[in-house]
Structure 1
Amino acid sequence: MTSTARNRFNPSQPGAAGMKAAATGLLVVMAVVFVAARAFEPGYPQLGWVKAFAEAAMVGGLADWFAVTALFRHPLGLPIPHTAIIPRNKDRIGEALASFLKENFLIASVVARRMRHIDLAGAAGRFLRAPEGEGTRIRHGASRLIADIFEGLDDERLGGIIKSAISSRLKTMDVSPVLGHALASAINEDRHVPMLEAAIRWSARVLDSNESLIREMVRKRTSWILKLAGIDTKLADSIMDGLRKLTVEMSTDPAHPVRQKIEEALAQLANDLQTKPETRERVEALKDELLANRSISLWLDTLWQKGREAIIRAARNPDTAMAGKLGDVLKSMGTTLEGDPRIRGAINQFARRAVAGLAASYGSSIVKLVSETVRGWDARTITARLESAVGRDLQYIRINGTLVGGLVGVILYGLDRL
């Protein structure tokens, strides 16, 4: 709520207090005018009209003062029946407010009907595509809130919770079929080819960097007779040349027999991961060993720290984050949301179902919370809160009552004269 709105509705602010003083002052002025007009009326008969106006204005002002005061307290502290209405009926008011919320906002069918014509996806698309103006203020406010939350939370405790959640999820998750399906999909779409070629190039680099080691192994395993004839060197040369030729042919020929064998082995592994119990058991055992390894725990800690720092940096400077690749991705998403009616309709339908589901699941709890909260307020609290909401307008009622009462008095005086 803006400061202007707070000044308007809070009676403790100068605006509301000024209106209360104005209403009371107007009533006092009418009383003074009535006394003066009554005193000078014998010498100036025309003052009868003024006296009639002031007299009726006093009656109207006092009546409205009594009515406004009776809503919140006993007028002049006197226990007059049917006064202090709100404090005496606060429990019933809380139940009525809760029922109003439930019947108009927290019933699944009502929520779904109200959201039927709300285009949440379109609004999100417009915001993502061009988040300027009001959207910028919203984004900056949300960003500051996110950054403050991540900086304010206990880093060690939150990191431990996240790490424990990830580990628990991985422990209960059967990763073997997932890996098998992912590998099978990669093979079917030839997405494994770059990885296979990278492995072949890596093998060629390993071969070159370990040439002296390979030659030494050949020399040690060659008999002394062959060494005398120099055959060990020729044998090492032949082995190195053959291995180099193999890596070159495998990298350039997709139909190379060895390469085909590797692809067949990968396909068989993908099938075994999904269907073969012993393969799945070995993968699960390996997964458990990895999760129990301290290095994995340290890696998860590092991953959390880097992720947390990245979130805080992006939240502290949302314009920079939106200007990079992330911004391009979000703008592309916004354009897609605005331009594709099918996606927009699906998202809106999901949002309606989600909100309606929340209303169905938690509507009664929200209603109960509202009712119990109001019931728990003391009379002074609920009086102050309701007065803060309508205090300024109630003073307008007193002023209007004074002026309207005066006009009615003049009309009645005129009719009586006629």
Structure 2
Amino acid sequence: MLATGLLVLMAAVFLTSRHYEGVHPAIGFVRAFAEAAMVGGLADWFAVTALFRHPLHLPIPHTAIIPRNKDRIADTLGAFLRDNFLIPSVVARRMQRVDVARAAGRWLADPSGGRGRLRAGIGRLAADMLEALDQERLGGMAKQALAGRLRALEIAPLLGRALETAMREDRHRPLLDGMIRWAAKVLEANEHLIRAMVHERSGAVMRWTGLDETLANKIIDGLNKLIAAMAEEPDHPLRAKAEEGLAQFAQDLQHDAEKRARVEAFKNELLDNPALADWWLGIWESGRAALLRVARNPDALLTGAFGGTMRQLGETLQADARLAATINRFTRRAAVGAASDYGDGIVRLVSDTIRGWDADTVTGRLENAVGRDLQYIRINGTVVGGLVGMGIHAVDVLV
């Protein structure tokens, strides 16, 4: 409206000054300014309009440039992104100047102020994404992916190597201690069964004399002493036998085909159990609910013990140069890898998206993005044209 109003004003000034031109020589300068301003304004209006459409709907050659060259613009923009942003060497060079670790450290150490608004915005976005996703389908996909990885993984050798390593480093002793304590509790809970068994298998004389009760007490006391001795003596012969059995079990898990097949069959049977599927979906839903709570109220998370841990991590990231360098190197390599692996895909996505737009959509979006500056071109053309016209008139008068 301003550019067009200025053009209309110049037309009015031109008509008025032309009518009163003979009154005073100075009016000639006004007339020359207005006349040249109209020419400049109209020329720039034509140039600006010709970018997006045919001026006055006339099929003038080399007008409506953007709609006619939509596909070429898409290819050019894609090539621009690829050559200036998504080349691994360019990404690596730009990432050299980005200190991701210390930026993250500052945010974690002091997540208040404007960064608090950023955190809240990210939280709302994360919550909206989690709620928008099909939870049943997403949970099923995650369950299938996990089950597929577990089915493809032969766990028997892994368990065997883990047990073998634990025994080599004496980390299996707590396991044996736990088994001994469990045996003591089982014996204590089942003393009545031992007494009943001895009573049933004793003769009438032993029952009449009460020797069956004495025998049962002796058996129970002997078992209790044996378990206590195993718990107190690390070198007890029965513990040595148990360790020998564990070592053999570790070897069988790694090298015995029959034992490995049995473990795999048990694993597959467990994965096929519907109860495990229900348990996994329950865990998934609990995790999703926890993520939603955190996303909706990130400040509550940062006020607890977890928040203290995060702030300590932020301070460490800022103070530990070696850790910061490691994280920055990892981030740089990740960004370069992403550019290498997905750069062409991103370029095709941008190019194909613009190609898929119709001409009106491309024109409208570009015009909305740069239209304000283009209108200032019209205003500048009007003013500059007027000044040039006045200068030419001055030269004409002086010469």
Superposed CA offset, 1:78-129 (max 9, x none):
2222222222222222222121111112222222222232223333333333
Deviation of the 1:189 alpha carbon: 4.4
Tell me: CA distance 1:271–1:133, structure 2 relative to 1, closer, same or farther (3 Å).
farther
SS in 2 for 1:398: helix
2:271 to 291, 300, 308: 291
Does structure 1 residue 151 correspond to structure 2 residue 120? Answer: no
Match of 1:267 among 230, 238, 247: 247
Q: Which amino acid aligns with 1:359?
A: A
**Aligned with residue 203 of structure 1, among 183, 190, 195:** 183
| Inter-CA distance 382–51: structure 2 relative to 1 (3 Å threshold) | same
Equivalent in 189, 193, 207 of residue 227 of structure 1: 207
Find the aligned partners of 2:320 and 2:257 in 1 and give their Cα distance: 44
Mapping of residues 300-319 of structure 1, within 5 Å: 300-319=280-299
For residues 140 and 233 of structure 2, what CA distance do their matches in structure 1 show? 50
Q: Distance in 2 between matches of 1:139 and 1:275?
A: 52
State how 1:76-87 maps to structure 2 within 5 Å.
Answer: 76-87=56-67
1:60 maps to 2:64: no
**Separation in structure 1 between the aligned mates of residue 352 and residue 25 of structure 2, nearest angstrom:** 62
Distance 2:246 2:316 in 1: 37
Gaps of 5+ in 1: 1-20
1:196: how far off? 3.3
- For the structure 1 residues 48 and 98, does the alpha-carbon distance in structure 2 shift closer, same or farther, using more than 3 Å as the test? same
SS in 2 for 1:309: helix
Distance 1:379 1:149, change over 3 A: closer
Who is 1:14 aligned against? none
Are 1:406 and 2:366 matched, yes or no? Answer: no
Using the alignment, how far apart are the partners of 2:90 and 2:378 within structure 1? 39
Deviation at 1:204, TM superposition (A): 2.3
Separation (CA, whole Å) in 2 of partners of 1:233 and 1:207: 17
In 1, distance between residues paired with 2:171 and 2:307?
A: 28
In 1, the alpha carbon distance for the partners of 2:382 and 2:74 equals 33
The within-5 A match list for 1:23-34 is 23-34=3-14
Q: CA deviation at 1:392?
A: 0.5
Amino acid at match of 1:63: A
Q: Which residue does 1:137 correspond to in 2? A: 117
Alpha-carbon distance in structure 2 between the residues aligned to 1:271 and 1:125 = 47
Amino acid at match of 2:115: G
Amino acid at match of 1:237: N
Structure 2 residue aligned with 1:218: 198
The reply on whether 1:125 has 2:105 as its aligned counterpart is yes
Count of residue correspondences = 398
Output the CA distance in 1 between the equivalents of 2:101 and 2:339: 20
Is there any run of 5+ residues in structure 2 with no aligned partner, and where?
none
Assess, with a 3 A threshold, how the Cα gap between structure 1 residues 389 and 169 changes in structure 2: closer, same or farther.
Answer: same
Q: What pairs with 1:235-246 in structure 2 (closer than 5 Å)?
A: 235-246=215-226
Shift of residue 332, structure 1, vs aligned partner: 4.3
TM-score (norm 1): 0.85
Aligned CA distance change for structure 1 residues 97 and 295 (closer, same or farther; 3 Å): closer
Q: CA deviation at 1:57?
A: 1.9
**What is the distance in 2 between the residues matched to 1:169 and 1:50?**
83
Residues 211-220 or 256-265, more deviating? 256-265
Displacement, 1:22?
0.6
Equivalent position amino acid for 2:162 in 1: A
CA distance in 2, matches of 1:83, 1:294: 67
Inter-partner Cα distance in structure 2 for 1:317 and 1:239: 62
Distance in structure 2 (CA, Å) of the matches to 1:270 and 1:358: 41
Which residue matches 2:262? Answer: 282
Q: Distance in 2 between matches of 1:375 and 1:168?
A: 39
* Residue matched to 2:71: 91
**In the alignment, structure 1 residue 375 sits paired with structure 2 residue 369:** no
Q: Determine the structure 1 residue equivalent to 2:336.
A: 356
- Distance across 1 between alignment mates of 2:219 and 2:307: 54
Pair 120,24 (structure 1): closer, same or farther in 2 beyond 3 Å: same
Residues 362, 320 of structure 1: alpha-carbon distance in 2 compared, 3 angstrom cutoff: same
1:257-282 superposed Cα distances (whole Å, 9 cap, x missing partner):
33343333333323332333333222
User: Does the alignment pair 1:42 with 2:25?
Assistant: no
Work out whether 1:322 is the aligned partner of 2:302: yes
Question: Structure 2: how far apart are the matches of 1:93 and 1:150?
Answer: 36
Structure 1 residues 376 and 304 mapped into 2: Cα distance closer, same or farther (>3 Å)? closer
In 2, Cα distance between equivalents of 1:265 and 1:124? 51
- Greater Cα offset, 68-77 or 340-349: 340-349
